[in-house]
């Protein structure tokens, strides 16, 4: 698994936050085998109130898998983009998600910066594995890093 491409997704979301889309959240996890990291980007309205790192409906999310490497979100033209370039493409290609994710959420944006700091330079946050949901806290790949849970989402009910 290439950490570089996956970290670029995290940096892209940070860039989206700087551009005013602070109501966009990540739902990061691992495949059951542990071979592939996944990250859904979704508006806070689609994140569980009981677990601020779990999307309620994956149909309302843009999902990246590390198995795609530089084919971010299955795009054929983004492999060499930096976080800013990915953010521009994301806004253009996922306009509905971005529209729902536009607005201030300083509590989450602050949490997100802390998560980036704790996982720097070569770890990724994990909120679930395909074969288990964790207790609400996040862990990081490649170590014993524990990341405090993010602020709660706004959606009640179970995840799908």
Q: Which token pair is 52?
A: 């601020």
Q: What is the pLDDT of residues 56-84, one digit of tens each?
A: 999 999 999 999 999 999 999 999 999 99
Average pLDDT, the chain: 92
Question: What H or E segment, with its residue span, contains residue 119?
Answer: helix 106-119
Q: What is the pLDDT of residues 36-52, one digit of tens each?
A: 999 999 999 999 999 99
Res. 128: pLDDT tops 50: yes
Please tell me the pTM assigned to this model: 0.93
- Which of 22-36, 52-66, 97-111, 128-142 has the weakest average pLDDT? 128-142
């Amino acid at each position: 698994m290439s950490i570089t491409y996956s970290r670029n997704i995290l940096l892209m979301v940070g860039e989206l936050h700087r551009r005013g889309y602070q109501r966009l959240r990540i739902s990061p996890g691992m495949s059951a085998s542990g071979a592939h990291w996944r990250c859904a980007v979704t508006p806070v309205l689609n994140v569980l109130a009981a677990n601020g790192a779990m999307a309620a409906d994956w149909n309302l999310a843009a999902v990246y898998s590390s198995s795609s490497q530089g084919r971010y979100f299955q795009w054929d033209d983004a492999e060499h983009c930096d976080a800013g370039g990915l953010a521009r493409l994301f806004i253009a290609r996922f306009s509905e998600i971005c529209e729902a994710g536009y607005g201030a959420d300083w509590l989450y944006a602050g949490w997100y910066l802390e998560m980036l700091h704790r996982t720097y330079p070569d770890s990724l946050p994990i909120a679930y594995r395909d074969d288990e949901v964790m207790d609400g806290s996040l862990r990081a790949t490649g170590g014993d890093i524990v990341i405090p849970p993010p602020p709660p989402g706004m959606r009640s009910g179970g995840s799908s």
